[in-house]
Structure 1
Amino acid sequence: MDIGKLKAPYQITEIDPWLAPYGNDIELRMDRFKDKRRQLVGESASLKDFANGYLFFGFHRTKNGWVFREWMPGADEVRLMGDFNEWNRDSHPLDRGENGVWEIAMPGADSLKEGQNVKLWVRKGDNWFERLPAYSMKVVMDEQTSILCTQVWDAEKEYPWTDAGFTAVKPDAPLIYEAHIGMSQDREGIGTYREFAENVLPRIRDLGYNTVQLMAIQEHPYYGSFGYQVTNFFAASHWYGVPEDLKYLVNTAHSMGIRVLLDVVHSHACPNVGEGLQLQDGTEDQYFLAGGEGWHPAWGTKLFNYGRTEVLHFLLSNLKFWLEEYHFDGFRFDGVTSMIYHDHGLGSAFTNYDMYFNLNTDLEALNYLQLANELIHEVNPNATTVAEDMSGMPGMCLPIEQGGIGFDYRLAMGEPDYWIKLLKDTRDEDWNMNGLWYEMTTRRPQEKIIGYCESHDQALVGDKTIIFRMADAEMYTGMMKDYHSLTMDRAIELHKIIRLYTMSLGGNGYLNFMGNEFGHPEWIDFPREGNGWSYKYCRRQWSLVDNPDLKFGWLNDFDKAMISLAGEKKLLDDPAAVSLWIDPERKIISFSRGGLLFVFNFHNSYSEQSFFLHAHTTGEGSYKVILSTDEKRFGGPGLIDHDYIYQTAYTEGRGLGFNVYSPCRTAMVLERIGE
Structure 2
Amino acid sequence: MAKNQTLKITEMDRYLFGQGTHYEIYKLMGAHPTKQKGKDGVYFAVWAPRAQEVAVVGDFNGWDPNKNIMKCDNDMGIYQLFIPGVKSGDLYKFCITSPSGELLYKADPYANYAEKRPGNASRVYDITNFKWNDSVWMKNRQNYDVNKNAMSIYEVHPGSWRKHPQNEHDEDGFYNYRELAHSLAEYVKDMGYTHVELMGIAEHPFDGSWGYQVTGYYAPTSRYGTPDDFQYFVNYMHKNKIGVILDWVPAHFPKDAHGLADFDGTPTYEYADPRKGEHPDWGTKVFDYEKNEVKNFLIANALFWMEQYHIDGLRVDAVASMLYLDYGRENGQWVPNKYGENKNLEAIEFFKHLNTVVLGRNKGTVMIAEESTAWPKVTAHPEEGGLGFSLKWNMGWMHDFLEYMKLDPYFRQYNHHKMTFSLTYAYSENYVLVLSHDEVVHLKCSMINKMPGLGQDKIENLKVGYSYMLGHPGKKLLFMGQEFGQYQEWSEARELDWYLTAESSHRELRDYVKELLKMYKKYPALYATDHTEGAFEWINADDASRSIYSFIRKSPTGRNNLLFVINCTPVARDDYRVGVPKKKQYRLVLNSKDPKFGGNVPVEKTVYMAQKKECDGREFSFAYPLPAYGVAVFTY
TM-score interval for Structure 1 and Structure 2 normalised by the shorter chain: 0.7 to 0.9
Query: Is residue 508–residue 596 contact of structure 2 (8 Å, CA) maintained in 1?
Result: yes
With over 3 angstroms needed to count, the CA separation of the structure-2 counterparts of 1:288 and 1:161, relative to structure 1, is farther
**Structure 2 counterpart of 1:133:** 108
**Structural RMSD (CA):** 2.4
Q: In the TM superposition, what whole-angstrom CA distance separates every residue of 1:511-549 from its partner, at most 9, and x where no partner exists?
A: 0001111111201234xxxxxxxx4xx21132322x2x4
Aligned counterpart, 1:479:
none
Deviates more, 1:369-378 or 1:570-579: 570-579
TM-score, normalising length from structure 2?
A: 0.87
The question of 1:671 aligning with 2:626 is answered no
**Residue of structure 1 equivalent to 2:187:** 203
Distance (Å, rounded) in 2 between the aligned partners of 1:654 and 1:563 = 31
Q: Secondary structure of the residue that 2:373 maps to in structure 1?
A: coil
Flag the 1:288–1:139 CA change in 2: closer, same or farther, 3 A: farther
The aligned counterpart of 1:405 is: 387
1:322 paired with 2:285, answer no
Structure 2 counterpart of 1:543: 499
195, 220, 227: which one aligns with 2:211: 227
- State yes or no: 1:342 paired with 2:308: no
Q: Percent identity?
A: 29
Deviation readout 1:336-379 (Å, 9 max, x if unpaired)? 1111101115699xxxxxx9x97111111111111111111112
Partner residue of 2:577?
612
User: Would you say 1:645 and 2:625 are equivalent positions?
Assistant: no
**Alpha carbons 2:490, 2:496 under 8 Å: kept:** no
Which of residues 453, 461, 467 is equivalent to 1:494?
461
Runs of 4+ in 1 over 4 A off after TM superposition: 39-42, 345-348, 423-427
What pairs with 1:652-667 in structure 2 (closer than 5 Å)?
652=614, 654-667=618-631
The residue that corresponds to 2:537 in the other structure is: 578
The aligned runs of 1:260-409 (5 Å cut-off) are 260-274=244-258, 276-344=259-327, 359-409=341-391
Q: Give, in whole Å, the separation in 2 of the partners of 1:555 and 1:415.
A: 23
The 3 A distance-change label for structure 1 pair 579 and 358 is: farther
Give the secondary structure class of the aligned counterpart of 1:302: strand
Give, in whole Å, the separation in 2 of the partners of 1:122 and 1:612.
75
Contact 1:640–1:662 (CA under 8 A) maintained in structure 2 = no
Deviations 1:433-461 (A, max 9, x none): 64144234232645211113x21012213
- Aligned match of 1:461: 442
Could you tell me whether the CA contact under 8 Å between 1:182 and 1:191 is conserved in 2?
yes
Deviation at 1:494, TM superposition (A): 0.6
2:597 is aligned with what amino acid? F
Encode CA deviations 1:88-146: one digit per residue, 9 max, x unaligned.
32121111122100011235xxx22110111111212322221111101100136xxx2
Gaps of 5+ in 1: 1-38, 349-354, 472-485, 527-534
**Given the superposition, is the C-alpha separation of residues 556 and 221 from structure 1 closer, same or farther in structure 2, using an over 3 Å criterion?**
same
Runs of at least 5 residues in structure 2 that lack an aligned partner in the other structure = 1-14, 166-172, 332-336, 555-560
CA distance in structure 1 between the aligned counterparts of 2:34 and 2:228, rounded to whole angstroms? 22
Determine the C-alpha separation between the residues in 2 that align with 1:459 and 1:163: 37
Partner of 2:7: none
Cα gap change, 1:200/1:365 in structure 2, threshold over 3 Å: closer, same or farther? same
SS in 1 for 2:520: helix
- Inter-CA distance 458–408: structure 2 relative to 1 (3 Å threshold): same
Distance in 1, matches of 2:299 and 2:517, equals 34
The aligned counterpart of 1:96 is 72
Cα contact 2:159–2:175 (8 A) shared by 1: yes
Hey, what does 2:144 align to over in structure 1? 170
Pairwise CA distance, 1:148 = 0.6
Q: Shift of the alpha carbon at 1:560? A: 0.4
What residue in structure 2 maps to residue 257 of structure 1?
A: 241
Deviation at 1:414, TM superposition (A): 2.2
Aligned-partner Cα distance in 2 for 1:644–1:130: 70
- Matched-pair contact (CA < 8 Å) for 1:624–1:645: yes
Please report how far the alpha carbon of residue 417 of structure 1 lies from its aligned counterpart in structure 2 after TM superposition. Answer: 2.2
Q: What does 1:49-88 align with in structure 2 at a 5 Å threshold?
A: 50-64=22-36, 65=40, 66-88=42-64
- For the residue of structure 2 that corresponds to 1:525, the secondary structure is coil
CA contact 2:456–2:505 (8 Å) conserved in 1: no
Cα distance in 1 between the residues matched to 2:465 and 2:599: 15
Once the two structures are TM-superposed, the CA of residue 624 in structure 1 deviates from its matched residue by 1.5
How far has the Cα of 1:328 moved from its partner? Answer: 0.3
1:390 touches 1:413 (CA, 8 Å); kept in 2?
Answer: yes
- The size of the alignment, in residue pairs, is 584
CA distance in 1, matches of 2:223, 2:195: 23
1:504 to 458, 471, 480: 471
Q: Give 1:428's match in structure 2, choosing from 383, 386, 410.
A: 410
Look up the SS of the partner of 1:495 in the other structure.
Answer: helix
The answer to whether the aligner puts 1:593 opposite 2:558 as a matched pair is no
TM-score by length of 1: 0.82
- 1:458-501: CA deviations, max 9, x gaps? 22132112212236xxxxxxxxxxxxxx6223211111010110
Aligned-partner Cα distance in 1 for 2:30–2:115:
16
- Aligned 8 A contact 2:29 2:46 in 1: yes
Question: In structure 2, the residue corresponding to 1:592 is in which secondary structure?
Answer: strand
Q: How far is the alpha carbon of 1:666 from its aligned partner?
A: 1.0
Alpha-carbon separation, structure 1, partners of 2:352 and 2:570:
47
Match of 1:9 in 2: none
> What is the deviation of 1:87?
2.6
Report Cα offsets for 1:21-75 as digits up to 9, x if no partner.
Answer: xxxxxxxxxxxxxxxxxx9799xx9x9x631120121122444243211110111
User: What residue in structure 2 maps to residue 35 of structure 1?
Assistant: none
Asked if structure 1 preserves the Cα contact closer than 8 Å seen for 2:95 and 2:106, the reply is yes
Task: Give the 3 Å change call, closer, same or farther, for CA 337–40 of structure 1 in structure 2.
Answer: farther
